[in-house]
Structure 1
Amino acid sequence: MISKRIGVVESIITNSEDIDEIKVKIGERVDKAINYPKITGSVNVGDEVLLNTSAIELNLGTGGSHFVIANLNNLESNMTDGGHIMKLRYTPLQVKTFAAEEQESIHHNKINNFKSLNNLPVAVGTLHSMLSPFVAVAKRLDPSKKIAYIMTDGAALPIYLSKNVKELKDKKLIDATITIGNAFGGDYECVNIYTALIVAKEVIKADIVFVSMGPGIVGTGTKYGFSGIEQGYILDAVVSLGGKAIAIPRISFADKRDRHIGISHHSITVLKDIVKSRVTIPINVQDEYKKKRIISQIEDSNIHCLHDVTFVQNDITKDSLDYFDLKVKSMGRGYHEDEEFFKSSGGAATYILEGLI
């Protein structure tokens, strides 16, 4: 199940307290590798490291790097102080975190005494690449709104892997992060989506919440076999806690796979078969030909009877990305190659802010 090799650190590309990008030599071959210092300790040029080489052997895209399991020259590391909630439980790399819900946490009583989200707007996406256009539009429309990002464990587990999150935090476009389930490394750790939403409301005092997995969605070409199916039960969680649930549809007219043209079959499956609550679906498509296809898909799947579909009139996604100097890509495609994909999450932000302003 795991391919392991021993390599030697040849160079360090970038390093920080959270993540190191390094080059490792295995035999005569040099490859990129990722090291998480809090888990596996710091590395230096010349160190021997035990590597998980599975991703490169499978020729994966996202996650296509070796990962350091242990530095044989430095076995010491320190994930966190305090706490007793384990993530990656019962694996050789299980990590200790201090969850916001714990009895020793200063936030325990706030979480325990929670009543309602009081219509807090929560946008739920399926791909990590939806995050940047969403927060760019939201902060462009109203920089004073506090945005919390909840990262699920549907893909990458360490939040450190996301360069998007680092850039968005550095530019103050995200105010706080929460990692849930087996995902870890956020400003706040939570056990599940329910307590994460409560922390966003009661502790962070967020005005808007965005939820999605980290980098690396999984799909199998089957109706239900994709990690983005989590969008359905996350939307239900938002509604059950008294929030305003906004579903960001996956829309593309550039994908080579017909099942992802217009509204992706992933989104149709979630909105038709998985989510049980009535939610809002903003559609941000201005081209009349493309809009007709979207409307046809919505009507054919009966989604317009199950949910509140609304069309966004004024799109500022590209303007917002340019204003904050954000370069976005999804599935290797940039904004100009797949604008409807990025406009979908930008439109969700526009819908929310029009209601808040």
Structure 2
Amino acid sequence: MLKLRRGTVVVADPVRDDEQWQRLSVDVAGEQRPAVVDVALLGSCTFGDEVVVNVEARDLALGSGGFDVVHVNLTRGLSGEGVPGAHVMKLNYSSLQHAVLPVEGERLAVPLGRPVAVFPLHGHLAPLAWALAQARPGARVGYVQTAGGALPGGMSSTVLELRRLGLLADHVTAGPAYGGEREAITTAGAIHDGLAEQGWDAALVGPGPGILGSGSALGHGGIVAMDSAHAALALRCATVLVARMSAGDPRPRHQGLSHHTRTVLDLLLAPVTLPVEMGATDPAFAAARARGHVVHEVAVDVEGYRASGLPARTMGRGIDEDRPFFAAALAAGTTVGGLVR
């Protein structure tokens, strides 16, 4: 059963027009607990609202989800009418199922050669988009949010910032992800619509904030990169995989080229390009080349990215503590920028 509890809102932060998530403090059995509400899905909350919250993530002390999530607002959340004309369900057969207007159309126009960058962690998105813009100013770039991390499209402050700066032109939530500016039933449908119908020059495809993980070879959110890369390859796109690399992660499986990326490279059914910083070395690069993948060395501007003011931390570590993480994403962005025509 869901771990749901009844509570009362005691603090409700104001919500900007472009924000979809609201931060709250909710009194649950006498304890004031941090919580969030998906405004696009459930509406905003105010002081005194009676709510039902899902308390599981905070009770488990999850690092990326250490707050309660409002399941329903009993005071003002029972009058929604849904989206007029929508009939395709997201979160289907769950208590949060809702109808959307999908982007997928009847026509299949294969976007030959357009580049797609597939990334395994949301922390890659900002350096990836920034480097692409430096390499190809004015490029029209869309973000396809997939499974693997947070599913709500409005949760990422990074996406909001990149949209404000013009580094992203669109945000589509695909598959089980929901709440983006536009909705897609599948990742392939989102990529196709963006590149073939919306005029994107490139697509950046990867999960929302946070990541599912178990420490096993296949039981982690990063494996979604395999599915996304296959979708891009099937659409005949120039497919670039962002390497998850680290020099600061204390877990041996993530040091150097992470086992997340190594596994995807081993399982892919066709070659992709794996950009890395000029001079970077890892024993796994040889194995990737042996499988036909292109390990592409690129000069990167880490200091320029640091000065940009965009997010520069991953799992609590900054650029100085984990340069390879950011350098790999910058290398991928530069590579994709060079592929834009």
TM-score (norm 1): 0.90
Where 1:246 maps in the other structure, the secondary structure is strand
What is the match of residue 9 of structure 1? 9
Distance 1:356 1:48, change over 3 A: closer
What is the match of residue 168 of structure 1? 162
Say whether the 8 Å CA contact 1:121–1:209 is kept in structure 2.
yes
What is the match of residue 315 of structure 2? 331
What is the match of residue 241 of structure 2? 247
What is the match of residue 285 of structure 2? 298
Q: Of residues 179, 184, 204 in structure 1, which corresponds to 2:178?
A: 184
Task: Describe how 1:281-296 pairs up with structure 2 within 5 A.
Answer: 281-286=274-279, 291-292=280-281, 294=282, 296=283
Where 2:103 maps in the other structure, the secondary structure is coil
Superposition misfits of 4+ residues, deviation over 6 angstroms:
none
Where 1:15 maps in the other structure, the secondary structure is coil
- Of residues 116-125 and 28-37 in structure 1, the stretch that sits farther from structure 2 once superposed is 28-37
Q: CA deviation at 1:81?
A: 3.0
Say whether the 8 Å CA contact 1:235–1:277 is kept in structure 2.
no
Where 2:325 maps in the other structure, the secondary structure is helix
Q: State how far apart, in whole Å, the 2-side matches of 1:73 and 1:211 are.
A: 38
Q: How many residues align?
A: 338
Q: CA deviation at 1:185?
A: 1.5
Q: State how far apart, in whole Å, the 2-side matches of 1:261 and 1:285 are.
A: 18
What is the match of residue 144 of structure 2? 150
Instruction: Give the aligned residue type for 2:95.
Output: P
Where 1:346 maps in the other structure, the secondary structure is helix
Where 1:326 maps in the other structure, the secondary structure is coil
Task: Describe how 1:166-315 pairs up with structure 2 within 5 A.
Answer: 166-272=160-266, 274-286=267-279, 291-292=280-281, 294=282, 296-299=283-286, 301-312=287-298, 314-315=299-300
TM-score (norm 2): 0.94
Q: CA deviation at 1:305?
A: 3.7
Q: CA deviation at 1:174?
A: 0.6
Q: CA deviation at 1:237?
A: 1.5
- Of residues 249-258 and 20-29 in structure 1, the stretch that sits farther from structure 2 once superposed is 20-29
Say whether the 8 Å CA contact 2:271–2:292 is kept in structure 1.
yes
Task: Describe how 1:107-118 pairs up with structure 2 within 5 A.
Answer: 108=105, 112-118=106-112
2:92 maps to 1:89? yes
Say whether the 8 Å CA contact 1:283–1:347 is kept in structure 2.
yes
Q: Tell me, which stretches of 5 or more residues in structure 1 are unaligned? A: 102-107
Distance 1:184 1:321, change over 3 A: farther
The Cα RMSD (Å) is 1.7
Instruction: Give the aligned residue type for 2:297.
Output: F
Distance 1:208 1:44, change over 3 A: same
Say whether the 8 Å CA contact 2:170–2:181 is kept in structure 1.
yes
Q: CA deviation at 1:59?
A: 0.6
Q: State how far apart, in whole Å, the 2-side matches of 1:302 and 1:138 are.
A: 24
Say whether the 8 Å CA contact 1:176–1:204 is kept in structure 2.
no
Distance 1:255 1:285, change over 3 A: farther
Say whether the 8 Å CA contact 2:136–2:338 is kept in structure 1.
no
Q: State how far apart, in whole Å, the 2-side matches of 1:302 and 1:334 are.
A: 28
Q: Tell me, which stretches of 5 or more residues in structure 2 are unaligned? A: none
Distance 1:119 1:5, change over 3 A: same
Instruction: Give the aligned residue type for 1:343.
Output: A
Q: State how far apart, in whole Å, the 1-side matches of 2:79 and 2:313 are.
A: 36
- Of residues 209-218 and 73-82 in structure 1, the stretch that sits farther from structure 2 once superposed is 73-82
Q: State how far apart, in whole Å, the 2-side matches of 1:38 and 1:239 are.
A: 33
Q: CA deviation at 1:251?
A: 0.5
Q: CA deviation at 1:16?
A: 4.1
What is the match of residue 63 of structure 1? 65
Instruction: Give the aligned residue type for 1:298.
Output: F
CA deviation map 1:207-246 (0-9, x unaligned): 1110001112111111111121111122122111110000
